[in-house]
C-alpha cells in the first residue's frame, strides 16, 4: 500500500468518525416527564423542547432537561401564635413546574425551583396564618390553617410554579400548653354533659306536669259526663262484664249497678266462724 493510499484511508476514517460524532452531537432525546431547554452559544431558546427525539446544531448547542412531574418536599418550621406560644410544624408541599415556565425558570432563577421560589413563600405564609390565631385554635382549626396557608402560597408564587397541595403532617406545642388545652377540653365536655342533663331533667318535669294536667282534666270530664248522664256508669259496667253471672248487684233505680264479689264475702265469713268455733272449744 502506497503512502498516498494510506493517507487517503486515514483521512476517510477520520471523516467518518467526525461524521458519526457530528450526528451524535446533532441529536437529542427528552425523557418522559421532562421538558428540554435549548442553549446555543450561551443563548437560551424562547420555546421549550417537548418529550422525544430532536435535532440540534452539533458542538455549539445543548439541551438541558427540566423535570415537570409532580414533586414532594418536606419542610419544618417554627412560628408563634397570636398569644405568643411557640408552634412547631412539619409540612409537606406537593408542586410541579408548568411546561410553559420551564424556560423562564432555567434562564432567570438559580438552583432548584423549590428551594429558591417555593420554600421561602411557604414559611412566610404559614407564619402569617399562625400569627392570626391562638395556639389552641391552630390545633383545633388545622384544616382552615392549611387552606389559608395554601391560598397565600399560591398568591405569592403566582403562575410561575404550580403548588398542588400542602399537608400539615404534625403540629407540636410545649408540654405545658398541651396539658392546659387538654384540661380545657375536658372541662368543656363536662359542661356540655351537665347542660344536657339539666335540659333532660327539665323536659321530664315539664312532661310530668303536662301528664298530671291531662289526668286532672280527664277526671273532671268524667265527672261532668256522670253528672249529666248517670247511665254512663251502667254502660261501663256492661262493657267490662266477662259473661258470668254476677255474685251480687248493688244499686237502686236512681244509681248505677255495682257488681260485688258476694262469694268472696261468704267465704271470708265462713272462715271467721270456723276460727271462732275452734278457739272456743275445750
The beta strands (E) that lie in the chain are given as 27-30, 34-40, 43-49, 52-55, 61-67, 71-80, 86-96, 162-172, 248-250, 258-260
CA-nearest of 123, 110, 22 to 76 is 123
Bin 255: left if φ > 0, else alpha if -120 < ψ < 50, else beta.
beta
Q: What is the pTM of this model?
A: 0.60
Give tens-digit pLDDT for 210-251.
888 887 787 777 677 666 766 666 666 666 666 555 555 555
Domains and CATH numbers, the chain: 20-67 (no CATH), 71-176 (3.30.479.30), 230-262 (no CATH)
CA distance 103 to 48: 6
Q: Give the residue among 13, 6, 121 at the shortest CA–CA distance from 129.
A: 121
Q: How many other β-carbons are positioned within 10 Å of the β-carbon of residue 126?
A: 25
Whether residue 59 is predicted with pLDDT greater than 90 in this model: the reply is: no
- pLDDT confidence band for 267 (50 / 70 / 90): low
For residue 105, which of 48, 32, 40, 29 has the smallest C-alpha distance? 48
pLDDT category at 96 given cuts 50, 70, 90 is very high
Amino acid at each position: 500500500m502506497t503512502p498516498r493510499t494510506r493517507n487517503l484511508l486515514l483521512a476517510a476514517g477520520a471523516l467518518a468518525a467526525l461524521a458519526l460524532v457530528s450526528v451524535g452531537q446533532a441529536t437529542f432525546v427528552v425523557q418522559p416527564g421532562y421538558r428540554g431547554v435549548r442553549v446555543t452559544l450561551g443563548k437560551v431558546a424562547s420555546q421549550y423542547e417537548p418529550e422525544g427525539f430532536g435535532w440540534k446544531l452539533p458542538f455549539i448547542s445543548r439541551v438541558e432537561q427540566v423535570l415537570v412531574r409532580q414533586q414532594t418536599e418536606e419542610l419544618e418550621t417554627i412560628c408563634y401564635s397570636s398569644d405568643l406560644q411557640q408552634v412547631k410544624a412539619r409540612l409537606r408541599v406537593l408542586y410541579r413546574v408548568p411546561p410553559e415556565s420551564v424556560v423562564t425558570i432555567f434562564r432567570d432563577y438559580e438552583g432548584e425551583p423549590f428551594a429558591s421560589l417555593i420554600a421561602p413563600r411557604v414559611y412566610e405564609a404559614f407564619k402569617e396564618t399562625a400569627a392570626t390565631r391562638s395556639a389552641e385554635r391552630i390545633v383545633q382549626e388545622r384544616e382552615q390553617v392549611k387552606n389559608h396557608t395554601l391560598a397565600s402560597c399560591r398568591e405569592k408564587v403566582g403562575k410561575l410554579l404550580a403548588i398542588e397541595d400542602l399537608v400539615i403532617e404534625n403540629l407540636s406545642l410545649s408540654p405545658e400548653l398541651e396539658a392546659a388545652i387538654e384540661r380545657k377540653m375536658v372541662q368543656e365536655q363536662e359542661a356540655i354533659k351537665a347542660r344536657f342533663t339539666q335540659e333532660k331533667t327539665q323536659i321530664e318535669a315539664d312532661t310530668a306536669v303536662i301528664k298530671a294536667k291531662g289526668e286532672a282534666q280527664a277526671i273532671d270530664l268524667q265527672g261532668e259526663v256522670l253528672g249529666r248522664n248517670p247511665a254512663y256508669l251502667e254502660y261501663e259496667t256492661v262493657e267490662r262484664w266477662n259473661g258470668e253471672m254476677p255474685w251480687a248487684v248493688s244499686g237502686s233505680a236512681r244509681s248505677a249497678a255495682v257488681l260485688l264479689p258476694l262469694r268472696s264475702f261468704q267465704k271470708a265469713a265462713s272462715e271467721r266462724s270456723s276460727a271462732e268455733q275452734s278457739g272456743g272449744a275445750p
